[in-house]
Structure 1
Amino acid sequence: MVEYLKQASFVGVRSLDEAERFYGGTLGLVLQDVRPFALVHETPTTQLRITAVEEVRAAPYTVLGWVVDDLDREVDRLTAAGVSFNRYDGMDQDDRGIWTAPSGARIAWFLDPDGNNLSLQG
């Protein structure tokens, strides 16, 4: 059996400068600059590569998400920074846009500047 050491995720963006402002500035991720190809965020068990692409084809589903300690606080912080949280027909979301799944998980969705659908779970 092969031992996989780390999981890598990818998200495509048109502008690494704009992505750096959003992912690094607004979200607060620590980014390694490996331009002209990508920005990289490392954790002990994962790697996120924010990759420069010619054309972003935003998916209609979540492409990337994070689990946070305090979802309400993080939604409030991002809202104050100008992030808008998505609303979906047929989903019972609270005033912040947070949906509670049958499992009890609480989830909020938002878009990056390229329209990639991201989520927070708490």
Structure 2
Amino acid sequence: MKGLSILFVLQGLSFFIQSLVNILEDKNGKFINLNFNPQLYIIGIFIGILFIFAGIGIGLRKKYAFYLSVSLCSLMSLYVLVGVVFLINQNSIGPLVLIAINLLIYLAIARYILKRKLYFNKH
């Protein structure tokens, strides 16, 4: 679980830093073919902070980390599924394989955490 905690912290740092850089550069956001306001990158900063808290909590075996990590993996799976729907509407199959791999990774991490619920009850 220590490796998973490090991966959660790194994932959170990447979301946080990328969103912060995009806000500072005032880039227009783009999700597949939809443009959105650059101020919506604040959501990425918030999710990055949640990933960092979940990673630290997993390392310290806190009970909140169990619920937060499963919720974040479910949220990211939903985000990937929305991307799949937009790619299917564009009739592009190539990137669909990469998105399917991301979906499987997030679902596998959520299942791994759910199977080790007793790990979080030790403290």
In the superposition, the TM-score normalised over structure 2's length comes to 0.29
Hey, which of these two has a bigger chunk of helix by percent? 2
The structure with the greater share of residues assigned to strand is: 1
TM-score (norm 1): 0.29
Say which one has the larger Rg: 2
